[in-house]
Structure 1
Amino acid sequence: MGRLEYDDSAFAYFGLAVLTIFTVPFTLSFMKSLFSSSNASELNKKDFKPRTSTERLNIDKVKKSENVTSKFANCGTFLKAVVLCMLWFLIISMFFRTGGDANIQQFDPFEILGMDKGSTDAQIKRAFRKLSVKWHPDRWISGTAEEQAYAEMMFMKISKASDALTDPVAKENWIKYGNPDGKQPMELSIGLPNFLMLKENQNLVLVLYLIGLVVVIPSVVALYYSNSKQYSDKLILNESFQIYGYLLKNTPIKHIPEILALSAEFRKMPLRPEDEKILAKMKKMLIAQELIVKKPAHNTLNFFKRWPQHDKVNILIHAHMNRLAA
């Protein structure tokens, strides 16, 4: 009957496969974003000429931001690089950890005894006697514990090798099963670390398993479902669709930019005190040039009062549409 056990080497192979599947695409994506310069190249292709000093400064910022060194100054890019380095370190560590398994060789009695495959029984017996004298455990009593263990292992190997070539039953077993002891029981390994089987870790493993099963997995599923149901198949918030449907019925066409500014997506836009003067100046210029309605439509007032972000977006949309720079 097969034995089922936890095997650290199997875990190393499993971990190596999982990490590689995740890390390689992540690395390619990171390198692409790091060395691509789409924004700057588009500006160069179109031979874009700035009309104001503000536009010129913004273009210079875009071009500088496309520099690899500048990208690393970004906190998000730097953290991604650190995570990637850690992942590749783990992959390399696991690779070397599994490298020892490549040294596992099939049982070969001729190689163990240092004999050619055409050797006679007499030659095999002489080789066995010579090696058994060298590796007999009694000769290593005064040696270290490691030397004694190694000598015992070597003596067992040469004994099995001799039996496999001289004893009829052992020889038949070796020919049939590759082992002089006969058919070996099947061993099954699980790709999990061996410490999970330690008795002192059982309570901790059980608690972590319950937390993952009862708390983490349901929370992730609930969070995903909660977020996904907020969006339509066009990846637009359903609330935005409701706003459009409600306002477009009785709103003049000149207020369309206002309705767009009321999209629910804009409610997370930060309101910075340093932007207030610029926004006020822009709004004043838009009103002076009659590029924006002085007063929003009556059915949109509540939205502007409740979420100040909409007023900011409304000004920015009109300024962009009219190529206005503060």
Structure 2
Amino acid sequence: MPNRENSTKIFISSTAQAALQPLRQKLKTILDASGHKALLFENNFGLWTDNTLRDCLRKVSESEIYLLFISNESGSFTNIDPNVTATYAEYLRALDDQKIIMPFIETHILDMFRQHIKRPLESRISHYKKQFDSDPAYTYDIVKEMVAEEERGTDLYDKLNNSGVHPFQWAFIYDLYSTRWTYSTALANADLACEFIIEALSQILKSLTPYYPVLDQINESIATADRLTYFKESIPHLMQSLRGGKLDTKNLLYVLSMYLKGGNIKHNDSPLDNRVLAQVADCHAICLYEKNGSKLEILEHSDAITPQKEYNVSDSSRLLPKHTIQRMRILSMCSIVKRNSKSI
């Protein structure tokens, strides 16, 4: 038996309307038979809690591919945000987690959007941006205004009111259509829709195959680019410490403290043991000492601290390791270490 936990997880997202149930079930059967793991709300993922939305969003995060089907019904709106449906919340999670997102829209609904809804909606959103110098918080708000203000008897009024499409769906489609490629197919025909979806998945796989042999190099390049960006951003701050050819030590220490971030100290190095032994907070202050004979003398410090002016390196009562006191200059990073919720 194949190990399903190692299979590609594909989240199938749509409203629970009856017209889409045959497609959802048939697609799950095909995907599972192909060695993938299809994730469906109505199927048993394991133990559910009393917060099904949170459970669904967690499953979206666990998946690699997010398949979205949009028909005429909006589905239920969330209690957390009355402007967002459960399906839209799943889409937002997939977007945030940078999943492969493949939206499939009922053909006649997408055709109507392109021919009759898209332009007047774009016009209203453009007007909103000019008026408020920002995007609307919710596209759905603009759609509701458009539906309410459209003059009775116009072609658009008749189509909006006779389409049987919930107004939220026009907002959903607009958000998808304006940012990514959308697929059009007859979702009500489960057999034909499944064939089309499998073909689309195959095209995605085909487009990614040239990059698979160089996947390690791509990941390394991404990591290098992140480090380079971090370095580039730090340069202007560090250059401020050089004024008139002289080093502003205090400012240098302040800048360094901005980039010294804390983190977790693990219980051990095992990848199976994620227990946290202690936490090191971000650096908020730095003291710089210089060794002068048998003493460490303060050179400079940053931020609101009152450091000890000097240490006697021959004093065995001081908690300074031998390899530290042998250095000519010592940088002491003052951070707070928390262990078992108590400072140490």
Q: Do both proteins adopt the same fold according to a TM-score greater than 0.5, normalized to the shorter chain?
A: no
Structure richer in helix, relative to its length? 1
Q: TM-score, normalised by structure 2?
A: 0.20
Q: Which structure ranks higher in relative contact order (CA pairs < 8 Å, sequence separation ≥ 6)?
A: 1
Largest Rg, 1 or 2: 1
